[in-house]
Homo-oligomer: A and B are copies of this chain.
Amino acid sequence: MDGVTMVAVASIIMIGFTISIGSIGPALGEGRAVATALTAIAQQPDEAGTISRTLFVGLAMIESMAIYCFVISMILIFANPFWNYVISKAGG
């Protein structure tokens, strides 16, 4: 198994691993936040505005972690410096 293949295989494996494992935490965290928001609205309808605003800020921060994972996956697919190096070597 030569170097190009190895790097390709490792990249493919981590592309999927990063986004799938990286979506577990944020998904559960957002599920919890949304669930509590609904309970809070049901309990205190008059504060729906404040609750929604706080919820969206919170969701944005939690989502940011899923975005990091997605960005890393995208970099590994389309802008992978290790892959670029080995194929430039192999092509040389």
Contact = CB atoms under 8 A, between A and B. Distances in A.
Interface of A: 1-48, 50-52, 54-59, 61-66, 68-70, 72-73, 75-78, 80-83, 85-87
B66 A68 contact: yes
Given A19-B72, A65-B26, A51 B38 contact: yes
> SS class of chain A's interface: helix, strand, loop or mixed?
helix
B58 A37 contact: yes
B1 A62 contact: no
Nearest to A11: B12
Q: Which of A22, A54, A56, A69 gathers the greatest number of chain B CB atoms within 10 Å? A: A22
A39 B36 contact: yes
